Structure 1
Amino acid sequence: MRKFFIFFRNNKKKIYQAGLFLLTIIIVTFFFPREGKFQYEYQKGKPWMHEDLYADYDFPIYKLESRLNAERDSILGDFNPYFRYDSSVVVSKMNDFLEAFDQKWTNFLSKHYYLVEGAETDRIYSRRLEETKNRYLSFTSDILEHLYLPGIVEVSDILERVRGEGRFIVIIKGNIAEKAEYTDVFTLKRAYEYIVSELNTYKEREENAKRLVDIEFLDELNLSNFVRPNLFYDEETSTKVKESLVNEISITLGMVQVNQLIISKGEVVSNSKFRILESLRQEHESRLGSASNYYLKLLGSSLLVIVSILMLYLFLLHFRSEILDSNISTLFILLLVVIFIFISSIVYKTGAVSFYFIPFVFVPIIIRTFYDARLALFIHLVIILVVGFFVPNSFEFVFLNIIAGIVAIFSLTNTYQRGQFFLTALLIFLSYGLVYAGIGIIQESSIKNLEWINYAWFAGNSALILLTLPSIYIFEKLFGFLSDATLLELSDTNQSLLRKLGAKAPGTFQHSMQVANLAEEAVRIIGGNALLLRTGALYHDIGKMYRHEYFIENQTDNFNPHERMGFSESAEIIINHVEKGVELARKNNLPKQVIDFIRTHHGTTKVQYFYRSYIRKYPHNVEEGEKFTYPGPKPFTKETAILMMADSVEAASRSLKAYTEDKINDLVENIIKQQIEDEQFTEAPITFNDINLIKETFKKQLINIYHVRIEYPEA
């Protein structure tokens, strides 16, 4: 047991990494679809690249989804909606009408003929009034019955469900359903118009017959008050009938018999062959879905996932080992892989959206922001290849997303300009659209047959790319990464810490600015993160704010406090600016990557002036050199190594008596040579060729800064 704990302690990081990769394999395998996959790849309009294909079993030829949709739309387009006739409305309104008629007739007689109910009148006159009443009642009742018999419907119910001339509806009266033209029924508007028309016609007819017409009574009767809809859309019945009609649609066109030749090698995949191949694929995958094949499919899925994740591990091991050295970076990359494979599996199982809606290029953009383009592209390929195994049209999907990923990586040159994200989103949409159109034209030989709905998915995909901007900030805070946007903010000289440095130690601030310019120019020549280096250079000497008067660049009155101090005491103050700088940086929440520049910019060198002075005075105390040595660490990145060189060269250049080209060249050569002899760059990934390029850059920059100017004569 003790040996086990010792082994675990000595290999803790490797065990943790192995656990992360193993957990990733298990999770991805769990999300991996269990359905079988057709073994052949084919495209419409392209030759069949496999051997002659024969049917191993009978299977139906399924209609393409587009044809089924067209048939479904045709049936639903010709569908006659069902309306239910409500006779209770007719009875209720007719009773209301008869009651109102009697009341209004009595009121009419008392008003116009001064007759009241029960009063004695001339028998003949009374009979004439009764005949008039019956005639009016018969006429108005006929109007209402004429309206209610076919039915009155709300105009919105008709217009929403029935369009075009010659269309029918089905009216349900009790248990009987009758078909009727929708123009035979009345809307409320048509019913009102019919009443007005009939009243006018009646008036003309009565006048022509020389009969007295009290049209005023008919107006007062106001038949419109007794018109209400009595036909109502029956949604339940209509839905059931629609479903029944749709279910009756045949989903097949015929059968392929066992041992029948399906397609020959080299034969072009025509529309009919494509339909048969799609039917075979559908039948094949449904047969593979049986429980007996579950464990074999699980084994196959596991092998694919293991190989894919193993390739990712080997790439990191051989080309990006520094990522494997960081548990946070390893976790971050594997987490992105798992998240997007999980999203893809959800889309596969639900079918809620298209796979083209998933913003796979989100991953390479994020990786490109925090690492580099090569790593971003490789991780993108791993995700796309794994997902490509279970998506439909695998070749099309993989090709489209590889192109989009490459466009995203190389179009997003920086992440601190917000407009760059909008440009990248537009370029991604264009790359999707153009490549998809090219594939579609090859397959269909016509642009008309493209599935234009995919362009909506491409647009949504591109719009989601804009979410990378806030996501970068979130990942920075969660995982401690550093983006260009943050570096740009930190390198602003209006930052409070830099303003304090400029106010308290102006000489140090100017030195830092010059170092930043020198270092930035050098890193652009040999390659590296120029923005990170510039930011680190600006902050590398912030520790000098503590006891700033002890540093020569801040002494303005020709008084040097070191003259009253011992050599080791002076060296301690100088060396201490590194530790104070780190404390100040952490207090102000500067990123670790910037703090690394503060820690390493002197490496493990000595404070040469005080050390040499001490040795001259005490030649037998050479072993006490540790008092004059910076604690380190040595530079361990290309950027920190460049900063060490630039810092030393810039500081030493200020002590030159004459700024000739030879003196500047000798200065740069001697300082960097001494640093190499002191083994300050042994832990940094920098070559001698890089160092030579850096030296040449420094020389040119210093000559430009300190070039001799013409002395103008006094007036």
Structure 2
Amino acid sequence: MLSFFKKALKKFNITEANFYRIQKSQRYIWVIVIFIILSGIVSIDFLPNRVNLQVGQVTKSDIVAPKTVEYIDEESTEKLRQEAENKVSKVYEEDTGILTKVKADVRQFFDTIKNIKSSDVELEKKVKSVQDNYKIDLSSQQLSYLFSLSEENIDFLEEDTLMFLVKYLNRGVKDNYLNNVKDQLSQDAIELTEDRQYNQLVSKISRHFIRPNLIFNFEETEKRKEEARQNIEPIKRTFSKGEIIIRHGKVVTHDDIKILKNLGLTQPKINYINILGHILIVLIFVLIPSIYISQYHREVLEGEGILALLGLLPIMTILLAKVATYFPLEYPSFVVPVAAASIMIAILVDTDLAVVFTIALSFLVGIVTGGRIIDVMVAIVSGLTGIYSVSKLSQRSDLVRAGFIVGGATSLTIFTFMLTMVNLDLIIFLNAFWGILNGVLVAIVTNGLLPYVENIFGITSPVKLLELSNPNHPLLKRLLVDAPGTYHHSIIVGNLAEAAADQVGADSLLARVSAYYHDIGKIKRSYFFTENQIGSENPHNKLSPSLSTLIITSHVKDGVELAKEYKLPQVIIDVIEQHHGTSLVSFFYQEAVHDEKYKSVDEGDFRYDGPKPQTKEAGLIMLSDMVEAAVRSNVAAQSNPGKLEKFVRELIKKKLDSGELDECNLTLKDLDKVANSFVNILKGIFHNRIEYPDNIAQQFKEGKKLNDSLNK
């Protein structure tokens, strides 16, 4: 799996460092998301009290202002401001350079006309030259007329054109009114002289060269609009307490609804200071467990399923507390099953972490349900009781027992707090009943949700492991029947791994249960493995070394398939897949190397596919598996404690030197503890026994008779 991710990262050009940074940022994002959701649940009132009135309805009673309120009529104020804004004219600024540029262009045009007119070329070429150089809207006939004018008349034409352009540009020409100006200019030019063709030339040349010289000033316009808006005073409306807002029998109008909204009668008025206070409280109680995890349980950050669970459990609990507040209960916190979340975290993650979570969660539940000290204390007591009641969990029925313990402790806490009330009443003591109901809810929720939580979040609880360790499990029974030697080997490996796990701080229960199932793949071809070949011929004698290696190594793949078929947890499947790592099947490799039939032998063909052990538990099972098998076949080591310890340490060192333990976090100090643990267990298994004589019973009887006679 690790190699697969490395290849994937390389394919998408992502370094491993960047990948882990991405994962780290995702954890921060998840914490922020949890904080936002919890803040929303705590701060927002999902079912506020409302006056259910709509426009057009008739009120059935007088609606009175609950308090004196002065507010700004935003809608009316905005309407007046919009009107003032619309009255502001757009601001334009004159570009004085436009007139100068237009004059220069016109003079250049007429200079060109004069030069072309004085040239010795045909009229058609003169016309074409103008049309090519100036995309002016003049026909060939009009250009011919232009060239027919005397130089003096051309000067008059230039002056008239400039006169019109100066006249209109001095007035100012806006971009959006340019076409209107051109049309007006054409009308004025028609009456300039009696010569119609001359007037058309003035009109078309002027239309061609005129351009806008008033530039729209957006910033100044917006500034004046804003000043106009600011000059409008807000329209304020005031309603005194007790004033009738809508009288009985009146048809509700849009203005009435607007008034009700401002009075907070259709929806609660938002108290931003209160919301900020709740958000800060949530922030505190989100940061406390987050900092605790980062300081003392960093391994939790590596499990996505655990992080998701630690986020969703508080959200679900606070949501239940919020829902409870909408029921007609004086103390809604009494029925919130805080202990259910506490028990799940204690079982699936860690007991100490569950304590921290319970305290933070209890305060949030108290804030949601009323903010009283009794709400917080009842939640804390029920949660802590739940945690300690599952400290020695051995089966799922213990969860029911834990629920009853939680119910009793919660009821006692409620009863104790009720005794401190000033006005004692029999009905007050009935609140203790809610504590018993809380315990029942805890038992139901934990028993019902725990299996689903394990599957959804990929977390294996000790209860699940204890169930898997039962010899009556179908897969273990198959192993006992089909591969009895492997079964007994797995039991010893489990004992070795469990003892070693206790020494190095690993999960001893997980190590033992995983060891029971690590070789289940041998069920399919049990007779190919020496521990199951009791008094029968070894089938490998008739096979090639490469084929024998393929059969031996395939038990890992077969084991994974069987584990998935029987729905074993992923942590156990990982151990099955990793317990041989990439080890070399040395016997068949050496056989192939020394066999003359094989000219070249690839060592990679005689290795397991891996991956190498990724956890301490997988590494311990690899070592336990190797040591148990090797010591069982070494008679000399079995009979001599000194040789046994030396042999075990050599085996562990060989596995360490081969690099198989590089990825499982076992230190050299851990390996020394593991070796000592293995030796102690193996000494007990292979201890020397007294050889009793065959006639021991007869000797025992004779000795008894001799003692009787002496006593007489």
Calculate the TM-score normalised by the size of structure 2: 0.58
- What is the match of residue 337 of structure 1? 314
Cα deviation, residue 379, structure 1: 2.3
Alpha-carbon distance between aligned partners in 2 of 1:683 and 1:575, rounded to the nearest angstrom:
21
Indicate which of 454, 462, 467 corresponds to 2:439.
462
Partner of 2:632: 654
- Contact between 1:34 and 1:294, CA under 8 Å: does it hold in 2? no
Q: 1:327 aligns with which of 304, 316, 340?
A: 304
- Asked if 2 retains the 8 angstrom alpha-carbon contact of 1:513 and 1:538, the reply is yes
Please list, as runs of the form range in 1=range in 2, the aligned pairs for 1:481-630 lying within 5 A after superposition.
Answer: 481-557=459-535, 559-614=537-592, 624-630=602-608
Partners of 1:461 and 1:540 lie apart in 2 by 42
For the residues of structure 2 that align with 1:685 and 1:632, how far apart are their CA atoms?
17
**2: distance between equivalents of 1:389 and 1:611?**
69
In structure 2, relative to structure 1, the CA distance for the partners of 1:563 and 1:377 (3 Å cut) is same
Separation of aligned partners in 2, 1:554 and 1:424: 44
Query: Residue 364 of structure 2 is aligned with which of 359, 372, 386?
Result: 386
| C-alpha contact (below 8 Å) 2:31/2:311 kept by paired residues | yes
State whether structure 2 residue 275 is matched by structure 1 residue 298.
yes
Which residue matches 1:355?
Answer: 333
Return the alpha-carbon distance in structure 1 between the equivalents of residues 657 and 461 of structure 2.
35
Q: Tell me which amino acid in the other structure corresponds to 1:460.
A: L
**Corresponding residue for residue 713 of structure 1:** 693
Q: Distance in 1 between matches of 2:19 and 2:295?
A: 25
Give the Cα–Cα distance (whole angstroms) in 2 for the partners of residues 605 and 567 of structure 1: 16
1:674 to 647, 654, 662: 654
Cα distance change on mapping 1:34 and 1:592 into 2, 3 Å: closer
Q: Which amino acid aligns with 1:555?
A: Q
Compared CA separation, residues 575 and 356, structure 1 to 2 (3 A): same
In structure 2, relative to structure 1, the CA distance for the partners of 1:435 and 1:709 (3 Å cut) is same
Following superposition, the deviation at residue 20 of structure 1 comes to 3.5
Aligned residues: 460
Letter in 1 for 2:677: T
C-alpha separation in 2, matches of 1:293 and 1:524: 56
Alignment of 1:196-207 (within 5 A): none
1:346 maps to which of 310, 318, 323: 323
Partner of 1:21: 31
Kept after mapping to 2: 8 A contact 1:634/1:683 = yes
Gaps of 5+ in 1: 36-285
Which is bigger in relative contact order (C-alpha 8 A, separation at least 6)?
1
Contact 2:321 2:368 in 1 (8 A): no
| 1:700 Cα deviation after fit | 1.8
Q: What is the CA–CA distance in structure 2 between the aligned matches of 1:571 and 1:349, rounded to whole Å?
A: 68
Look up the equivalent residue of 1:454 and give its one-letter code: N
1:17-416, aligned counterparts within 5 Å?
17-33=27-43, 294-352=271-329, 354-392=332-370, 394-416=372-394
For residues 511 and 535 of structure 1, what CA distance do their matches in structure 2 show? 13
Deviation string 1:329-354 (CA, Å, 9 cap, x unpaired) is: 32222111111111112223444362
Which amino acid is 1:593 matched to? Answer: V
Q: How far apart, CA to CA, are the structure 1 residues paired with 2:605 and 2:296?
A: 40
Output the CA distance in 1 between the equivalents of 2:500 and 2:423.
54
Aligned counterparts of 2:672 and 2:431: Cα–Cα separation in 1: 54
Q: Does residue 1:684 correspond to 2:664, yes or no?
A: yes
Q: Indicate if the aligned counterparts of 1:440 and 1:450 stay in contact, CA closer than 8 A.
A: no
1:665 aligns with one of 629, 645, 648: 645
Q: Report the AA paired with residue 381 of structure 1.
A: I
Give the 3 Å change call, closer, same or farther, for CA 488–3 of structure 1 in structure 2. Answer: closer
RMSD over equivalenced CA pairs, Å:
3.7
Deviations 1:361-419 (A, max 9, x none): 11011112222212222222332232233444543433343333222212213444345
The C-alpha deviation readout for 1:92-149, integer Å capped at 9, x for no partner, is xxxxxxxxxxxxxxxxxxxxxxxxxxxxxxxxxxxxxxxxxxxxxxxxxxxxxxxxxx
Rg larger for: 2
Deviation at 1:578, TM superposition (A): 0.9
* CA distance 1:311–1:643, shift in 2 (3 Å): same
State the SS of the aligned residue for 2:624: helix
On the 8 A contact 2:584/2:607 being kept in 1, the answer is: yes
SS state of the match for residue 611, structure 2? coil
Contact 1:522/1:698 (CA < 8 Å) preserved in 2? yes
Query: How many angstroms does 1:427 deviate by?
Result: 3.1
Residue 656 of structure 1 deviates from its aligned partner by 1.5
In 2, Cα distance between equivalents of 1:312 and 1:387 = 16
SS in 2 for 1:361: helix
Per mean C-alpha deviation after superposition, the further-off stretch among 694-703 and 673-682 is 673-682
Does the CA-based 8 Å contact 1:429-1:459 persist in structure 2?
yes
* Aligned equivalents of 1:9, 1:665: Cα separation in 2: 43
8 Å Cα contact 1:380-1:405 kept in structure 2: yes
Q: Tell me if the contact between 1:316 and 1:323 (Cα under 8 Å) persists in the aligned partners.
A: yes
The one-letter code matched in structure 1 to 2:681 is Q
Cα distance change on mapping 1:301 and 1:572 into 2, 3 Å: same
2:365 is aligned with what amino acid?
V
Counterpart secondary structure, 1:389:
helix
Residues 234-275 of structure 1 show CA distances to partners (whole Å, capped at 9, x for unaligned) of: xxxxxxxxxxxxxxxxxxxxxxxxxxxxxxxxxxxxxxxxxx
Q: Residue 549 of structure 2 contacts residue 588 of structure 2 at CA under 8 Å; is this kept in 1?
A: yes
Structure 2 residue matching 1:32: 3-state secondary structure = helix
TM-score where L is the length of structure 1: 0.58
Deviation for aligned residue 1:355: 0.7
Distance 1:327 1:24, change over 3 A: same
Q: 1:366 to 1:10 in 2, by over 3 A?
A: closer
Are the counterparts in 2 of residues 537 and 643 from structure 1 also a CA contact under 8 Å? Answer: yes
8 Å contact kept, 1:34–1:297: no
1:315/1:627 CA distance change after superposition, 3 Å: farther
Amino acid at match of 1:714: D
8 Å Cα contact 2:43-2:279 kept in structure 1: no
CA distance in 2 between counterparts of 1:451 and 1:687 reads 60
1:623: how far off?
A: 8.8
Structure-1 separation of matches of 2:315 and 2:30: 11
Gapped regions of structure 2 (runs ≥ 5): 1-11, 46-262, 696-712
**Cα distance per residue 1:592-638 (max 9 Å; x no partner):** 121112111112222232334445669x9999322222222222223
Correspondence for 1:702: 682
Distance 1:426 1:444, change over 3 A: same
Inter-CA distance 710–460: structure 2 relative to 1 (3 Å threshold): same
Q: Which amino acid aligns with 2:559?
A: G
Counterpart CA distance in 1 for 2:667 and 2:338 is 37
> Aligned with 2:672: secondary structure?
helix
Structure 1 376/681 Cα, relative in aligned 2: closer, same or farther at 3 Å?
farther
Instruction: Tell me the SS of whatever aligns to 2:574.
Output: helix
> Helix, strand or coil: the match of 2:338?
coil
1:287-331 per-residue CA deviation (whole Å, 9 max, x = no partner) reads 9x9977623333333333344334444444444444443433322
C-alpha distance 444-32 of structure 1, shift in aligned 2 (>3 A): closer
